[in-house]
Copies of this chain bind each other. A is one copy, B any other.
Amino acid sequence: MKCRKCGAAAAINMRHHRLALCGNHFLEWVPEQTQRAIERYRMFAPTDRVLVAVSGGKDSLGLWDVLVRLGYSAEGVYIGLVIDGGVGYSNQSLVRCRAFAQAHDLTLYTVDVPAELGAGIPEAARLTHRGQQKPCSVCGLAKRHIMNRVALEGAFDVLATGHNLDDEVAVLFGNTLAWATGYLARQGPALEARPGFARKVKPFCRLQERETAAYALLRRIDYVYDECPHAEGSTNLVHKDLLNRLEAERPGAKLSFYLSFLRARESGTLALPEAAQPNSELHACTTCGQPTSAPGECTYCRTKRRVSEKKQAASS
């Protein structure tokens, strides 16, 4: 297999694009594709200040790398979740993010979840009985809250996450299997800013996971290979596995599923009326001021308070 651009030995063959490329041309192709997505979905402008949420994995560090190569002003935020007491998975993640920022002379904000929430993610989940099987719901809640806060406090124009096509398609697939029309109404590569909510974008939304992995490898980015230990057995991974089988049978199936969904919604042949009133019932949290759907305290602040109460009760 040869590179379509220069005829050298190909480093990657992308069957769904009928495109094989050598390492050098692939490293040009990824930023081009990313730039196309940024423009196509009007994610941000060249002068905007971008905050990239980095986890230490291939997607988020790869995205940061691409945005910097494309000339964007991109700073990073790392959220220290303390998944396993901060010894293995979490600690490795922070080390990788710091090393990347230092090597490229970039600003990295770090947020320590135990200092913010009163406990690391698994402990907070245990204390609040959220996630009796898995701490993933508390984790998502904390990440969304903190990322949004850092983006707003830093007056960033946009918050970028490293979600790739496989991530997006798995979520779309799950929401479609359940016909969760409210979620379907909101899913997309760019979520507009609303009062109290930063603009959110996913510039890697059209790149497959194997492409972001190949990019990180070829760029010699030192990233954490392991999945979060809590991901195992999740519905999301079951869906990813099915979608991988489908893609193997029909190359391009994932991209086509995702893009035809976005097109149908854009053209109005797929109408999700719940999209019309996403703002209807937002209130400012009485504690932190971030928007919340019910009057009173937001779920994050309530969780934080419950963690604190449980810890006090345990120590007294």
Contact = CB atoms under 8 A, between A and B. Distances in A.
Nearest to A264: B179
Interface stretch (A3-11, A139-147, A217-225, A245-253): A245-253
**Which has the most chain B C-beta neighbours within 10 Å: A177, A238, A271?**
A177
Interface in A272-286: 272-274
Contacts of A257: 177-179
Interface in A136-183: 176-179, 181-182
Q: Copies of this chain, how many?
A: 2
Contacts of A249: 238
Contacts of A46: none
Contacts of A269: 181-182, 272-274
Contacts of A182: 269
A301 to B, nearest CB: 30
Interface string A222-247: 00000000000001001000100110
Contact of A179 (B250, B263, B271): B263
Nearest to A245: B242
Nearest to A178: B260
A270 B179 contact: yes
Contacts of A197: none
Interface of A: 176-179, 181-182, 235, 238, 242, 245-246, 249-250, 253, 256-257, 260-261, 263-264, 268-274
Contact of A270 (B181, B253, B263): B181
Given A235-B250, A270-B271, A271-B272, 5 more contacts: A179-B260, A179-B264, A181-B264, A269-B273, A270-B272
A260 B261 CA distance: 18
B177 A253 contact: yes
A36 to B, nearest CB: 21
Contacts of A176: 176
B177 A256 contact: yes
A246 B256 contact: no
A263 B182 CA distance: 14
A82 to B, nearest CB: 31
Nearest to A238: B249
